[in-house]
Structure 1
Amino acid sequence: MGVRTWIESWPVYRQFSGDDPLGRGAAAKSAGTERIRPRVSTADKVVKSVCPYCAVGCGQDVYVKDGEVTQIEGDPDSPVSRGRLCPKGSASLQLTTGSAREQRVLYRRPHGTEWEPLDLDTAMEMIADRVVEARRQGWQWEQDDVRVRRTLGFASLGGATLDNEENYLIKKLFTAMGAVQIENQARV
């Protein structure tokens, strides 16, 4: 490569000698940056979602290729976040692909020190049995001569990423079971 060719390939020379004096377009691109492609350009589809971390509900674009999540970015169409994500929301790809994510149910027995894997059906049965027992033990028909028909044996704290319909169903379920302590992270 001669000196003249080298100088002509220099971005500052291209900026002042070409049609891009501000260096915002072709003058700023090198051969290396010409080869770079966005991580999301190979995605098969984009799924709209909501960040699961807090009650703000920032919009996310989830990029999927071959059934696997490849990238998560802020949704510029979201009226809540307008394409921006906080550091936790920006790192939410780790929720789906991170090596620390558990893909199975783990259980630690009372007074135990080790976690043991359980199958999902066993875990669900254990939860149902405990809900029924907590309801039975904590049931109150009356308090101070006032009929209350409730239980203080369990409560519900919903997540911020649940939509209105899901929150409605959870409220109905827990109310039907007699719970009075029903809250949602979006209001906390």
Structure 2
Amino acid sequence: MARFSFLEWPVLRQFRSSDPSGRGESVVSEQTRNTVPRTTTADKVVQSVCPYCAVGCGQRVFVKDDKVVGIEGDPDSPISRGRLCPKGSASEQLVNNPSRQTEVLYRAPKATDWQRLDLSTAIDMIADRFIEARRNHWEDFDDKGHPLRRTMGIASLGGATIDNEENYFAKKLFTAAGAIQIENQARI
């Protein structure tokens, strides 16, 4: 930290400079002059979509050394035209939060402790349970012989932390599997 100097007071800098109104260079500190935005040092800029709601605001993701260093609204986006809500502006914290869960945890029925699973094992467990629930609860026809072709053993309750394309895919997947109980905050 630099030593304090009375000559660097903004009022004195104002009288010494060509800024008599005190609205320009005289009120800018040395620290402010040397401050550089994180986004100017990024290795690359990637276009993305905000993960929070179904609006699909465009984002510019700034990456340095394979780490997200900042996220801004994308001015080229016809949806948001460079603007983001507070949640979208803070979405950089989704990937850089030290408390973010990065491993698959599983708690068996009636167990008290969580165990770590590799991703392929967890996906296989989910797929097996999905297929079994569909098979065990499939309804071809109702009591009057009307075709149903549905399952009541599968339901989907989604949030808005995935974008429109992922929501569309989830809706198509569950509908194709015969599920009719499909709800999502994004309201596809």
TM bracket, shorter-chain basis: 0.7 to 0.9
More divergent stretch after superposition (25-34 vs 166-175): 166-175
**One-letter amino acid of the counterpart of residue 62, structure 1:** V
Query: Structure 1's 167 and 98: CA in aligned 2 closer, same or farther, altered over 3 A?
Result: closer
Matches of 2:89 and 2:57 in 1, distance apart? 11
1:163 equivalent in structure 2: 164
2:134 equivalent in structure 1: 135
Q: Secondary structure at the match of 1:151?
A: strand
Q: Secondary structure at the match of 1:62?
A: strand
Per-residue displacement from partner, 1:56-78 (whole Å, max 9, x unpaired)? 43433211012111122344444
Q: Secondary structure at the match of 1:152?
A: strand
Alignment: residue pair count: 181
1:152 equivalent in structure 2: 152
Does the 8 Å CA contact 1:69/1:97 hold for their aligned counterparts? yes
Query: Structure 1's 168 and 187: CA in aligned 2 closer, same or farther, altered over 3 A?
Result: closer
Structure 1 position 117 matched with structure 2 position 116: yes
Unaligned runs of 5+ in 2: none
Matches of 2:74 and 2:22 in 1, distance apart? 28
Q: Secondary structure at the match of 2:153?
A: coil
CA RMSD of aligned residues (A): 2.6
1:11 equivalent in structure 2: 10
Query: Structure 1's 180 and 113: CA in aligned 2 closer, same or farther, altered over 3 A?
Result: same
Does the 8 Å CA contact 1:74/1:84 hold for their aligned counterparts? yes
**One-letter amino acid of the counterpart of residue 177, structure 1:** A
Quote how far apart the aligned CAs of 1:22 are: 4.5
**One-letter amino acid of the counterpart of residue 131, structure 2:** V
Q: Secondary structure at the match of 1:52?
A: coil
Does the 8 Å CA contact 1:131/1:154 hold for their aligned counterparts? yes
TM-score of the two chains, using structure 1 as the length reference: 0.80
Q: Secondary structure at the match of 1:182?
A: strand
**One-letter amino acid of the counterpart of residue 28, structure 1:** V
Quote how far apart the aligned CAs of 1:36 are: 1.5
2:63 equivalent in structure 1: 64
**One-letter amino acid of the counterpart of residue 33, structure 2:** E
2:72 equivalent in structure 1: 73
2:174 equivalent in structure 1: 174
Does the 8 Å CA contact 1:58/1:85 hold for their aligned counterparts? no
User: Percent identity of the aligned residues?
Assistant: 57
* 1:10-29 → structure 2 map (5 Å cutoff): 10-15=9-14, 18-29=17-28
2:101 equivalent in structure 1: 102
Quote how far apart the aligned CAs of 1:100 are: 1.0
Q: Secondary structure at the match of 2:14?
A: helix
Quote how far apart the aligned CAs of 1:16 are: 5.3
Query: Structure 1's 57 and 149: CA in aligned 2 closer, same or farther, altered over 3 A?
Result: same
Does the 8 Å CA contact 1:140/1:151 hold for their aligned counterparts? yes
2:33 equivalent in structure 1: 34
